Structure 1
Amino acid sequence: MTDQSPSGPPQDQPPTPPAPPVPPAGAQPVYGYPQAPPPQPQPQPGYGYPAQPQQPGYGYPAQPPTVVADGGTRARENRAITLTVLAAVVAIGLIIGSGVWYARSSDAGGTAHSGGGRNGTATATGGKEKVPDNPAADVAFKVPEPKTEENVVTTPGSWLSGRVYAKTGIAEITGYDPDDGTKKWTLKLPGPVCAATEHLTADGRTGILYQPSMPTKTDRAGCTQVAGIDVRAGTKLWTRSVGTGDFATQFSNVTVAGKTVAVGGLGGGAAWDIGTGKVLWQPKPGDDCKDSGYGGGTRLVAVRKCGTYGNRTLSIQNIDPTSGKVISEYKMGSGIEYAGIISTDPLVVGADAGHSASGGSGVSDYFSLDNRTGRLLARIPVPGDTYDGECDTITVVEACKGVIAGQGKLFLATKEHKGSGKSSRTNEIVAFDLATGKQTGQRAAAGEDYALFPLRMDGGNLIAYKKPPYDKGGQVVSIDGGTFRSTTLMELPPDMAEPRVQTGLLPGLAEYRYAQGKLFMAAPNAAKPLGSFDKDKNCVVAFATRD
């Protein structure tokens, strides 16, 4: 491919975010400046109902939606910072701070689910998950964590497609029989996988980002290689990059929409046909605007940035995945530097508006947008000390967890809080209407000493995982989208040995794939053991119901 990257050092390195400036005397408050909080509505009963969301557009200058009728191929810049160091620093912090990993739980290879329910409780129509006669599950197989002397090696990516469950290892991807873990194939790579997407085509194809060589103490190659992967066959369809050698563009995230593999980063975005590797678009030198990343699935949505840090404008663009033509655009308010895509259909993004996110969530508001026109439908403020949804939007666009959008609603887990018992803890999942931004009044309770974590949609139902107390097994449940009643799809072994296995692969930090009575938990990193207590960690633990 033609090298479109100019020589010289990477541009637009992200500085440490400065404290918000104080507005001049008499200035009207806008995002990016500290300001008095808006009047709070009266709370609704129940945890997770502290306040009704403010009206759409609050804190933003009035603006019409931007609808673009034409566009052509996408324009991007050409250099990005090295993801490897950032990922390692973040992962080391996670391991040292908690001893476990978090990553977004997601769809199980496009397989959806439903059923008639148990004990007289019926699940909502539109789902495809079968409710088993006996939800009790056993361990189907385990895959030990790959051995490494590195503090952290990234191993993101796990997929379930047809009769294959595939998981990334160190510089390789392995396909397993989903029933018993028998190896079906192993695809070797020259370097570690940097980023992967949960999205698959109908025939089991996906895209990955990887390094061109194994890192050493003196040389840590950036994430420059993009590949199309056939998960069912265990083959690499093609490998591409933008530029070569030291001048190859580095990317930080990858996704799949339709037949397109799209990658983005601080240097801009690029895309290829997933079957042939034909280039669809790539960064252009000198462009002040660039695509930092994309959300995939049934649609392709770009997070497009113009300008430099501290003086940047951000747009959310619904684009044609083949031509790159912009279908519609929404311009975010000033003071928003980053955004994460929750869903492309319905289109929902999360952002830290005015550096106001609390509780370490990285997101202060969710924005519901009209895909066709780009119009803002609703803005949903989410206090981080009340809700558990999180977004890491600085380098990865599709990295939000604890929040799912579908069927016209936003499903959000609350923070764990005191239960009815003396020392019990619990939480809920609540729903917001994406058209109005208001809470629907629907609330699913986890139960004493359990905590709910949303995984994905199943037609009109929500699939969620219930993190258990120390003496119980976790559960996979289907929450009816209408009644919000929970139906148990799987109950993991309650004995003490298996909860210890599960503890290192908690929801939100691990990759969860659930489909038709099978649950796969997988770690997105591997690390050198910190001591004898974690020398026997697993990369994958798979469970299956007994019927």
Structure 2
Amino acid sequence: MSPSANLNPYAQASGSPQPPPTQVVPIGVAGGGGNGNGNGNGRQGAPRGRLITLLAGAVAVLVLLGVGGYVLSGGDDDKEPGRPSAGDSAPGPSSSEGGDGAKDKNRDDEDGKGEERKKPDLNAGSRPGDATAWAAWNPDNSLPGESTLLNDLWVVGDTYVQAVHKEVVAYRASDGRKVWSVPLPGPVCDTPVNPTPDGKVVVAYTNGKQRPATRCNQLRLIDLKTGTAGWRKPLGEADDLIITHLAISGGTVAVSAGSSSTAYRVEDGERLFTTGRDTSGKATGGKGTLTCVPDDVAGGARLLQVDVCSGQGSPVRGGLRELDPRSGEVRWRYRSEGAWKIDKVVSVEPLVLIETEAKNVLRWRVIALDAKGERRSVPDLARIAKHDFRACGGSGDAGEGVQNCPGTAVDANTLALAQDNKLAVFDLDSGKMRWGTQWNDGNAMVPLLLTGGRVTVYQAATLSKPGRTVEFGPKGGEPKVLLRHPSGAAETEYATLAGRVLYERGRLVLAPTTLDGSDRELKARLISFAGAPAA
């Protein structure tokens, strides 16, 4: 793809030559502002056109079945799982789990011939300076044949941990070997974005004995450092528990289900408080009460209650409450202006929201708030609308929570937003765009980290070309290559569709958004790259 004149006003104005096709070119309007969204919660994904089809298909299936994101539960008895140690549920290093090039004795679902398949050598054809890759493979047909949503990816010590179907699994960061696995009686239906500071999470799963078995009504504590299960708690039977969302702040886990949210102490599962309808606001024109009903929760450095508000003569709008995670006391309230709802909390520190119009979800805006819930800035979407930037990179939603907004990054004063092969960086105080760029080879870009104005970006793989991990400086320009991914990993890397992307301590890890148990092809649950290229 050659540079387009309307995407490169700076080069046109200065008369300087266009960069070659492998370079990056500026986007935006000189001296103008911009808009974007950011993610300060460690949950990233790719704003890429090709993922929209995948997610749209997944959502369509969920809608048809009418059960949100929790249609894959089985009829297993709700057995009390044990408390596995590092070796109880995981056999340790084995040819069927981590590494490359080993043989995998998976059986074909239909003919049962037990064909032996060889995993690809991800590091084949590596050049000096290439990163080293490993993959954790789906070992057998332990997953349903349908698409199973892979949940949040956590980094705890030297392990990557993820809940997949009926287990929580830890993989060693250095080589992808399974460290431990905690089995659960039913499929996991939600996980929080972040664990507690001491490495504990509470996951929600379905009760296989109950009908319908899609009710997301069981909680379980998992210690991610030791791979052991703790307390278990059923949720209220009278609530609408098909869609349940979790958020952790400090030592508190908040559970949003139906028209209320309940907080529990992570340590022992004791109930701390419940939030319900909030009638503290006034409807438009002061006529009647503005009633706000809990809709979702967000966690991390703050515990936030996301509301949907309505009242006599008032349009449906969004609401937000910061809660004390121990007492539930409301610290401040925010109400959206006009007929706009809060679609995503892309960062809790600093506070950055995406709002969508109540009657047209394709119309969106970004709102940055200060520490008291007051407006900090409202970036101008019109500045980048001609470049087809969409909310959360147009990634869609597979039934996940309000903190799932792929392809964004935030620090204290800066926000990065990507759409396909375009990247834009904004000032959170003024809302103006600092710089923008388009990558000419067409690969999708995923902003991962913002540090001192520098943006770490994953440049996604194509079917024949591996991806890269790069860093843009505070003013953009040509990026510095941090990780050059080996060509042997291109096909496996591409197949993840960059569903979940993390960059931690110089290592990149990717996971698909969904996975199924079909034996027709070998699939990677995780693929990781580490090792800086030669200078």
State how far apart, in whole Å, the 2-side matches of 1:171 and 1:263 are. Answer: 20
In the TM superposition, what is the alpha-carbon distance from 1:260 to its structure 2 partner?
A: 1.8
Indicate the residue corresponding to 1:187 in structure 2: 182
Partner of 1:371, secondary structure, is: coil
In structure 2, the partner of 1:227 is 220
Q: In the alignment, does 2:415 pair up with 1:433?
A: no
- AA aligned opposite 1:518: R
Matching residue of 1:14: none
1:398 paired to 2:398: no
Give the letter aligned to residue 197 of structure 1.
P
Code of the aligned partner of 1:412: L
Matched to 1:377, the amino acid is S
| TM-score normalised according to structure 2 size | 0.68
Letter in 2 for 1:342: V
Native 8 Å contact 2:346 2:352 kept in 1: yes
- What is the aligned partner in structure 2 of residue 451 from structure 1? 444
The Cα shift of 1:397 comes to 0.8
Amino acid at match of 1:414: Q
Counterpart for residue 388 of structure 2:
386
Query: Residue 368 of structure 1 aligns with which residue?
Result: 368
Partner Cα separation in structure 1 for residue 343 and residue 196 of structure 2 = 25
Q: CA deviation at 1:280?
A: 2.0
Q: Where in structure 2 are the equivalents of 1:29-48 lying within 5 Å?
A: 45=10, 48=27
Alpha-carbon offset, residue 377 of structure 1: 2.8
Q: Distance in 2 between matches of 1:500 and 1:376?
A: 43
Partner-residue secondary structure (3-state), 1:232: coil
Equivalent residue, structure 2, for 1:305: 308
Distance in 2 of aligned mates of 1:443 and 1:272: 43
Instruction: Identify the residue that residue 501 of structure 1 maps to in structure 2.
Output: 492
**Counterpart AA for 2:170:** G
- Which residue does 1:87 correspond to in 2? 69
Q: Which residue of 2 aligns with 1:49?
A: 28
From 335, 338, 344, give the equivalent of 2:339: 335
**Structure 1 position 169, deviation (Å):** 2.5
Correspondences of 1:42-191 after superposition (within 5 Å)? 45=10, 48-49=27-28, 52=32, 85-87=67-69, 136-144=130-138, 147=141, 148-191=143-186
Match of 2:254 in 1: 262
CA 1:353 to 1:205, structure 2 compared with 1: closer, same or farther past 3 Å? same
**CA spacing shift, 1:141–1:403, aligned 2, 3 Å:** closer
Which stretch of the first structure deviates more once superposed, 158-167 or 285-294?
285-294
Give the Cα–Cα distance (whole angstroms) in 1 for the partners of residues 450 and 192 of structure 2.
17
1: CA distance, partners of 2:481 / 2:140: 33
Name the CA distance, whole Å, in 1 between partners of 2:425 and 2:209: 44
Q: CA-to-partner distance for each residue in 1:84-142, whole Å, 9 max, x for gaps?
A: 7222689xxxxxxxxxxxxxxxxxxxxxxxxxxxxxxxxxxxxxxxxxxx752222232
1:341 Cα deviation after fit: 0.4
Amino acid at match of 1:383: A
2:512 aligns with one of 502, 513, 523: 523
Alpha carbons of structure 1 residues 526 and 43: separation in structure 2 relative to 1, 3 Å: closer
Are positions 1:199 and 2:199 aligned together?
Answer: no
- SS of equivalent residue, structure 2 residue 492: helix
Letter in 2 for 1:267: S
Q: Offset of 1:483 from its aligned partner? A: 5.5
1:170-198 Cα offsets, whole Å, 9 max, x none, are 20011122222332211011111112233
Measure how far apart 1:233 and its partner are.
1.0
Q: Deviations over 1:271-290 (max 9, x none)?
A: 22222222222255998533
Q: Is the 8 A contact 1:465 1:476 kept in 2?
A: yes
Distance 1:378 1:204, change over 3 A: same
Residues 333-359 of structure 1, C-alpha deviation per residue, up to 9 Å, x if partnerless? 23224421010111110011354554x
SS at match of 2:154: strand
Partner of 1:59: none
- 1:87 and 1:298 mapped to 2: Cα distance? 26
Whole-angstrom CA distance in 2 between matches of 1:469 and 1:177:
27
Structure-2 residue corresponding to 1:274 = 266
**Cα 1:286–1:446, aligned 2, differ >3 Å: closer, same or farther?**
closer
Q: CA deviation at 1:537?
A: 1.7
Q: Aligned partners of 1:150 and 1:231: how far apart in 2?
A: 28
User: Can you list the C-alpha shifts for 1:456-504, whole angstroms capped at 9, x where unaligned?
Assistant: 3346533220013444321112333456653222111123xx2111122
Alignment partners' CA distance in 1, 2:272 and 2:373: 24
Aligned partner of 1:211 among 173, 184, 206: 206
Q: CA contact under 8 A between 1:367 and 1:380: conserved in structure 2?
A: no
**Residues 461 and 493 of structure 2 are in contact (CA less than 8 Å); yes or no, is this contact kept in structure 1?**
no
User: What residue number does 1:543 align with?
Assistant: 529
Determine helix, strand or coil for the equivalent of 1:293: strand
Q: Deviations over 1:241-272 (max 9, x none)?
A: 4314x657454322222222122244322222
Is 1:318 the counterpart of 2:322? The answer is yes
Distance 2:454 2:176 in 1: 29
Report the secondary structure of 1:502's partner residue.
helix
AA of the residue aligned to 1:443 = G
Match of 1:512 in 2: 501
1:296 alignment counterpart:
299
Q: Is the 8 A contact 1:446 1:466 kept in 2?
A: no
The letter for the 1-side match of 2:494 is T
Q: C-alpha displacement at 1:454, in angstroms?
A: 1.2
May I ask how many residue pairs the two structures share in their alignment? 413
Q: 1:368 and 1:175 mapped to 2: Cα distance?
A: 35
Match of 1:353 in 2: 357
Higher strand share: 2
| Distance of 1:254 and 1:384 partners within structure 2 | 36
Judge which range, 384-393 or 204-213, deviates more: 384-393
Q: Are residues 289 and 301 of structure 1, via their aligned partners in 2, closer, same or farther at CA, if it must alter by over 3 Å?
A: same
Distance 2:27 2:342 in 1: 26
Q: Percent identity?
A: 22
Describe the shift of the 1:234–1:386 C-alpha distance in structure 2 as closer, same or farther (beyond 3 A): same
With over 3 angstroms needed to count, the CA separation of the structure-2 counterparts of 1:284 and 1:320, relative to structure 1, is closer
Q: 1:378 to 1:334 in 2, by over 3 A?
A: closer
SS of 2:340's equivalent?
A: coil
Measure, in 1, the Cα distance between the counterparts of 2:311 and 2:375: 25
> Displacement, 1:408?
1.1
Q: SS state of the match for residue 437, structure 1?
A: coil
Query: SS at 1:86's partner residue?
Result: coil
Specify whether residues 383 and 243 from structure 1 end up closer, same or farther in structure 2 by C-alpha distance, changes over 3 A only: same
Q: TM-score, normalised by structure 1?
A: 0.66
Residues 406 and 265 of structure 1: CA distance in aligned 2, closer, same or farther (over 3 Å): farther
Query: 1:88–1:153: 8 Å Cα contact kept in structure 2?
Result: no
Q: In the alignment, which residue of structure 1 is the partner of 2:412? A: 407
Report the residue type matching 1:521 in the other structure. L
Structure 2 residue matching 1:501: 3-state secondary structure: helix
Residue 331 and residue 284 in structure 1: after superposition, are their counterparts in 2 closer, same or farther (change >3 A)? closer
Distance change (3 Å), C-alpha of 1:139 and 1:375: closer
The amino acid of 1:501's aligned partner reads T
